[in-house]
Amino acid sequence: MEKLIRRKILIFLLVLGLLTAMLPPVSAVDTVDFTDVPPSHWAFVYIRACARAGYVSSLQGTEYAPDDSLTVGQLVTFVGRALYGEEALSDTKIWDTWYSPYVRAARRLGLLEHVGETRPSKAVRRCDMAMFLYNVMTKLQEKAPETSSFGELLPASYDVNLYAGPIGACYSQGLMGGYDDGLFHGEETVTRAQAAKMIALLTNLELQPLARTAEVRSSTTQLYILMYHSVVDNGTRCGPWTTNVSQLRKDLQWLADHGYTAVLPSELARGELLPEKAVMITFDDGYADNYTNAYPILKEYGAKAVISPIVERVEDQADTFLTWDMCREMANSGLIEFGSHTYDLHDTGVSRMTGESVEEYEERVFTDILKSKELLESRLGKSVLVLAYPHGTMESWAASFVRANFRMTLTTVSEPASIQGGLYDLSRYNASFDEPASMYLPD
C-alpha cells in the first residue's frame, strides 16, 4: 500500500513538472531595460514603470516579449505583485509553481469571478481582461467606476448583461477601449505590452514623460504643432474646433505608435535639439475640459502639452473655463506649460484698428498682453514663454514688443513648422474630431 502511494505521488509530481514546463516562464525581476522594448515602442513608458515597480518581468533573459499573448498565470502574477503579493506569498506551498500562490489568492479574493478562462497556461481574452480588471477595481480597490453600457461594442454572441458593465467600467477609467471599427473585439487576446499599460494605469504608477523616452535627437528643424481647443465628452457633437475624449486618445496613441516625441517650449528655448519626429501639442482658449478630459489622457500617455488660456476668462472664473487651481495642478505636473492667448483680446485680436494711432494701439494691445503674462506668472509661479496669437493673426506694430517678452509665438497657418529661423510665428495644424493628427503628420 505504501509503495502504491509513493508511486502515485511520483506520478503526480512528474505530471505537475510537465505542466509547469509547458507554461511560459516569468523570470525574476532582474532588469528594467528590456532589449526588445526600445524607447520608440508605444508601451515603453508603461513597461518600464511596471518593471521598476517590480510588477512585470522578462519572459526570457532580458526580453519582455511585448507582443506575445498574456497568459492567465502571468496576469494574476503581475497584478498580484502590485496589489496582493503579501497575501499571496503567505500561502506558498513547497510544490508551488511561480504563479500558484497568486492564482489561489485571486480566487479567494473573487478576482476570477465570471472570468471565462482561468487556466494559467491559457491566453487572456479582452473580455476576460475587462472582467478581471473590473473585479480588481470593485473588490480589491473598492472603486465604483461608471459602468455605462458598452454593449454596442460586443458581438451578438456575447452576454451583454454580463460583459457590458465591466467593459464600460474599464473604458470609463481609461484602461481599455474599442477599435476603429466601433467594436470591442472581446475574443482577441491581450498582449504583454497592453497588459503593462493597463496595470500601470490601474495602479496609478508615475510615468516618465514621453519626451524623455527619445534616445535619438538630431539636427532636424522640422516640428509638427497640433492645435486643439475644447475636448468634449464622447457623444457631444463636435464642431470644427473641437474633438472628443476618444479621438484625443486615438491621436495620442497614433503619435506613440508612429514614434513621435512631444516637446515643450522651455526645451526648445534652452536650445535642446529636436527629436527626429517631434510634435508639440497645444491647447488654445483654456477650456475647463482641458483639465477634466484632456489632462488625464495626457498623463496616461506621458505626453507633454502647452495650454494658452484667454486669461480674463480664468481670472473672472467664467463658466466652462479653467480655474487657477486647475492651472496650478497641471503646471506643477511637469507635463504642462502655460502660454498666453492674451488677457481679453481674443475677439478683436492684436491687429491695429482703423484710425488707431501707434500710441493708442500700444496702450490697448501691449497693456493687455503684458497683463496676461504677469497674471499667469504670478498665479502659477512659472515663466511664460509662449504667445498664441488670437486667430493666428500677427501685427507688425507688435512684433518688437512680443519678441521682447516671449520666446515663442504660435500662428494658425496650416503647415509644418520650422525652427531653423527661430521660435517665432510657428505654424500649427488645427486638430479636431474630423481632422485628427494622422491627417497631417507623416507616418
Q: Which helix (H) or strand (E) holds 371?
A: helix 367-380
Distance, CA of 284 to CA of 293 (rounded, Å): 15
The pLDDT, as a whole number, for residue 411 is 95
* Amino acid type, 241: W
How many other β-carbons are positioned within 10 Å of the β-carbon of residue 189? 16
* One pLDDT digit (tens) per residue for the chain, 443 residues: 555 555 555 555 455 444 444 444 444 333 457 888 876 676 777 888 888 888 888 877 788 988 899 999 999 889 888 887 776 677 677 777 778 888 888 898 899 999 988 899 999 999 899 899 999 988 877 766 655 444 444 555 556 677 778 887 777 677 776 654 556 778 889 999 889 988 988 887 765 544 433 334 455 889 999 999 999 999 999 989 999 999 999 999 999 999 999 999 999 998 888 998 999 999 999 999 999 999 999 999 999 999 999 999 999 999 999 999 999 999 999 899 999 999 999 999 999 999 999 999 999 999 999 999 999 999 999 999 999 999 888 889 999 999 999 999 999 999 999 998 899 999 999 999 999 999 999 98
Task: Please answer whether residues 407 and 385 qualify as being in contact, where contact means their C-beta atoms are separated by less than 8 angstroms.
Answer: yes
How many other β-carbons are positioned within 10 Å of the β-carbon of residue 121? 15
The pLDDT, as a whole number, for residue 63 is 87
Task: Please answer whether residues 342 and 367 qualify as being in contact, where contact means their C-beta atoms are separated by less than 8 angstroms.
Answer: no
Best CA proximity match to 406, nearest among 440, 380, 372, 435: 372
- With a CB cutoff of 8 Å and minimum separation 6, the contacts of 107 are none
Task: Please answer whether residues 74 and 195 qualify as being in contact, where contact means their C-beta atoms are separated by less than 8 angstroms.
Answer: yes
For helices 100-108 and 72-83, the axis angle rounded to 10 degrees is 70
Distance, CA of 130 to CA of 162 (rounded, Å): 11
Q: What CA dihedral angle connects 326, 329, 332 and 335, to 10 degrees?
A: -80
DSSP string, 107-135: HHTTTTTT-S---TTSBPBHHHHHHHHHH
Distance, CA of 94 to CA of 26 (rounded, Å): 18
The pLDDT, as a whole number, for residue 229 is 97
The pLDDT, as a whole number, for residue 158 is 58
Would you identify the CATH topology of the domain 210-440?
A: TIM Barrel (3.20.20)
Residue spans per domain, the chain: 18-202, 210-440
* Amino acid type, 429: Y
Q: Which helix (H) or strand (E) holds 311?
A: helix 311-315
Residue 29 exposure: Cα atoms within 13 Å on the Cβ side: 15
pTM of structure: 0.56
